[in-house]
Structure 1
Amino acid sequence: MMVTQKQVEAGQAVYTRRTLALYDFVVLGVSNPFIWKCPTRRLEDHYARHLSANHLDVGVGTGYFLDRCRFPADTPRVALMDLNPDTLAFAAQRIVRYAPKTYRRNVLEPIAFSGEGFDSVGVNYLLHCLPGSLAEKAVVFDHLKALMNPGAVIFGSTLLQGGVPRSALARGLMAAYNRKGIFSNREDDLETLQHELGQRFREVSVEVLGCAALFSGRA
């Protein structure tokens, strides 16, 4: 499948300053526990377990997890990467105390980056917003691996359709989001996610909570 720029932009265009102000309540407070059946606290624990003092966050949302988690150093190096300038600005302001560097990039393409590598990379709720099949958009892992130091960890979560339990409400909401282009996960399944991670990383872990998969792997 040939991914168009319009499809790439559709997955992140919904996140405006207005919708970001509601995101934590709607997605983290309602959708996660009651529709996707993945309590936000479990995502927070996943972050806390893998976060380093030299961290890159990709698909940054509102910066909720970076704001709430404790870094293993008082002055961590934090970088934010997203295609959407509104999410970058929102998250950067939320964690301004860490003086994060921001990078506007399309991670489906090779990433132009000349800085030092990172020890942890977070990709929370990003993959299901990217166009293409899961096997196609797993190229994101290749592009991010190039920014990781030896032994660094990549971790995150994504919402799946295949190989995970989904309630009627979850199926209906996913279908609606896919029609609008907010999600693009019609072909995303657990087996493919495990395979694509295993092809690129070692010590791969994938945990299913509701229709969410929490994953990690080391470079």
Structure 2
Amino acid sequence: MKRTEPTHGEDPAMPAQPADGSGDAVIALAPDQVMAGAAVYSRSILAAYDVWVLGFVCSAVWHCPRRHMLKHYDRNVGRRHLDLGPGTGFFLDRCTFPADRPQVVLADLNDEVLRKTAGRLARYRPAMYRRDVLQPLEFGAARFDSVGMNFLLHCMPGDIKQKAVVFDNVLPYVVKGGRIFGATVLTHGVRHGRLAPKALESLNADGVMSNKDDSLADLDAALGARFERYQLRVRGSVAMFEVSVV
């Protein structure tokens, strides 16, 4: 696993998408499991997410305080950035972009997530797309310097081999030297704290997470099969990955 420093290419066409998503193309219906995973994030859940999940759970349960994921954003985020499953936009709101006016695109199946994050990032005038990341993303001529997918994989159905199609779907839109990065909670191959096993069991049973078969070895294999240069860091139950596209 090798690491390279991020570089940024020339300006491509960006998605000509209204910020309110009104111009979105019709997409095929996603499988029920995909929709169920997205639907968990209601307005009330999103209101508590930063304090409860990113504040308490990340530190006390997953043993990966959110500051480490913020550093992950700071290290990898580019001027033209696509975020898949942006949650509340916590990290996008706080990270240091390499430009005063970055171009930010948000993609998620959940309209509440898109509205929440877009409102928080209104200063960047982000474009919003309702997309199932397991399907072709259909961004046309758009190209990005970075793609983030923080806490996305562990919410997606299937095992890592099935989820890894998200890397295939996004790769055509990343410029040479661009970065693909994210973090995910794993069940196997990482060192869990005392609270993690029961939390994983409960969250998978409730459909909040879908990672009972996710392992560090499978994530490493999925990245290694697709990318020449990548790095994995493990902190507690969380694996943070970053890829340099060549």
Once the two structures are superposed, the pairs formed by residues 53-68 of structure 1 within 5 Å of their partners are: 53-68=79-94
For 2:75 and 2:175, how far apart are their aligned partners in 1? 18
Separation in 1, partners of 2:178, 2:119: 26
User: Which 5+ residue runs of structure 1 have no aligned equivalent?
Assistant: none
Normalising to structure 2: TM-score of the pair? 0.86
Among 98, 116, 123, the residue aligned to 1:90:
116
Percent of aligned positions with the same letter in both sequences? 46
- Whether 1:111 aligns to 2:137 is yes
Q: 1:132 aligns with which of 151, 158, 175?
A: 158
Q: Which of these residues, 38, 47, 61, is aligned with residue 21 of structure 1?
A: 47
Question: Which moved further from structure 2: 178-187 or 107-116?
Answer: 107-116
Aligned to 2:229: 203
CA distance in 2, matches of 1:116, 1:93: 22
Q: Which of residues 40, 45, 56 in structure 1 aligns to 2:66? A: 40
Q: How many equivalent pairs are there?
A: 216
Q: 2:184 aligned with 1:172, yes or no?
A: no
Match of 2:18 in 1: none
AA of the residue aligned to 1:83: L
The offset of 1:81, in angstroms, is 0.6
- 2:187 aligns with 161
TM-score of the two chains, using structure 1 as the length reference = 0.96
Runs of 4+ in 1 over 6 A off after TM superposition: none
Residue 8 of structure 1 aligns with which residue? 34
CA RMSD of superposed structures (Å)? 1.0
Q: Deviations over 1:132-168 (max 9, x none)?
A: 0111110011001121112211000000011001134
Distance 2:141 2:39 in 1: 28
Aligned residue type for 1:109: Q
Distance of 1:10 and 1:175 partners within structure 2 = 17
Q: Deviations for 1:81-139, whole angstroms, at most 9, x for unmatched residues?
A: 11111000100000100000011100101111114210100000000000001111100
2:204 equivalent to 1:143: no
The answer on 1:49 being equivalent to 2:75 is yes
* Secondary structure of 1:52 counterpart: coil
Structure 2 segments unaligned to the other structure (5+ residues): 1-29
- Larger RCO, structures 1/2 (Cα 8 Å, 6+ apart): 2
Paired with 2:168 and 2:36, the residues of 1 have a C-alpha distance of 22
2 CA distance for matches of 1:98 and 1:125?
22
Taking the aligned partners of 1:33 and 1:96, their CA distance within structure 2 comes to: 29
